[in-house]
Chains A and B, each alone.
Chain A
Amino acid sequence: MDTFATLRDIIVEKFEKDPAEITPEATFETLEIDSLDTFDIIFSAEEKFGIKVPNEQVEIKTVQDVVNLIDKLRAAQGKV
């Protein structure tokens, strides 16, 4: 499962965004997605990838930040 493509689909589905807007470099701020909404994205990513993102606050600014977080956890939790 391609992490970025899956994440993009989650964002597009939830926020009815144009897929072209969702690039790795795009910041959630420019996408007008606030921190509360990023929790919702992470929630869906947890289900989709079968991982558990720890509850500690993580620094997330761009789409790539979430991709990195997911990849790291998939590797650590053996869900690649």
Chain B
Amino acid sequence: MTRRVAITGLGLVSPLGNTPEIFFNALMAGKSGIRRIEADFAERLDTKIAAQAEFDPLQHFTKHKASSLDRVSQFALYAAGQAIIDAGLDMERVDKSRMGVYLGTGMGGAASVEEGYVRLYRDSAERLKPFTVLMAMNNAAASQIGLEYGLTGANLTYSTACSSSSIAIGEAFHQVRHGYADVMLAGGAEALLTFGTIKAWEALRALASEDKGNASASCKPFAADRSGLVLGEGSAIVVLEDMELAKLRGAHIYAELTGYGSGNDSSHITQPSPAGQAAAMRAALHCAGLIPSEIGYINAHGTGTPLNDPAETAAIKLAFGEHAPNIPVSSTKSMHGHLMGATSAVEFVACVLALTHGAVPPTINLQNPDPACDLDYVPNVGRRGVPLRHVMSNSFAFGGTSGVLIASRVD
């Protein structure tokens, strides 16, 4: 059995605002959510920039509930709630045994883990908070969503670093497509802007240095003067639904999820392989039954690291051949930063809204082109009035797992 899969709801917490529309408008306006880190530990960082989400948990949860949820679960619960409302799902009538949750996260409850270590090692505390395990565990966010809505369908957490939420959405697509579930909440959440995590990224020398004149312009994907990625935080969750059931209940359908490709480079723990990335793009095209010339926009992985951007450029050329130069490719990470386990879901939301608005968001901070990156990256200014039918979202990762998704217009 193969069913068509509709995207009927979107929810999001991001460094560019906490609704999909605010987020997408910011992307089209070329706004950056990257700024100086506001935290006590910032003075001990070499890299004092990040893309923080503005999110006050006490606006959304009781004090007790908030204190029993890591920030990552707070983001995910809020995004899931938005997505359910946006989809117009009547939770009294949904068959909850046929509805599940697949989320991606890189570090789960990073702040709770770190808080525990601070108490233990620095403060020599006798005890850790009783909720430490339940807040820190990687599946906390997905579990909390299942609990909140009483969903008894499959509930899984994928952790493949930067491609985690692409994999979660792709695997949720399979759940619906092959009839294991009727509705899936799928996406990712990440809240890793802690002192320890940022220091670990610093040590890897993967982070962008601060732009001297303008901190918010520090992430420069595909530019000759790019210097690395900027860490971000947030969550995005989409509602995937059997197309026939969605039509039956008169749901608003944003788009159809038509393609998913995944694979592993298996060549190096960090260095990307254009061959591996191209294979995942081809697999997604094959899944969607599309040829390269039918893709109208690619949301690139586009981290802004020296290695990623030329490798991804080469991969797109391998997968798309002569069509590669004709396809607008942009990295919205230039604006929202790299949300790690949540990044592909956030970028997938950008793709879906690009499709529905006929609008391609730009790659900002691209003033100095790199000869090794010679595609159309939609430099600095977004494009409106672009008739898009099929869009692709690329995600690649440390550890080598690629996730590529394709969304298609539904007429």
Contacts and interface: CB of A to CB of B under 8 A. Distances in A.
A22 to B, nearest CB: 14
Nearest to B130: A39
Contacts, number: 25
Interface in A9-26: 14-16
Contact of A40 (B62, B126, B130): B130
Contact of B129 (A15, A37, A43, A52): A43
Interface string A61-80: 00000000000000000000
Chain B binding surface SS class:
loop
B64 A15 contact: yes
A40 to B, nearest CB: 5
Contacts of A37: 64
Contacts of B64: 14-16, 37
B131 interface: yes
B67 interface: yes
Interface residues of B, number: 11
B63 interface: yes
Interface string B63-103: 11001100000000000000000000000000000000000
Contact of A46 (B62, B127, B131, B134): B127
Contacts of A39: 130
A40 B62 CA distance: 16
Nearest to A53: B127
A52 to B, nearest CB: 6
14 contacts: A14-B64, A14-B67, A15-B63, A15-B64, A16-B62, A16-B64, A36-B134, A37-B64, A39-B130, A40-B129, A40-B130, A43-B130, A46-B127, A52-B127
Interface of A: 14-16, 36-37, 39-40, 42-43, 46, 52
Interface of B: 62-64, 67-68, 126-127, 129-131, 134
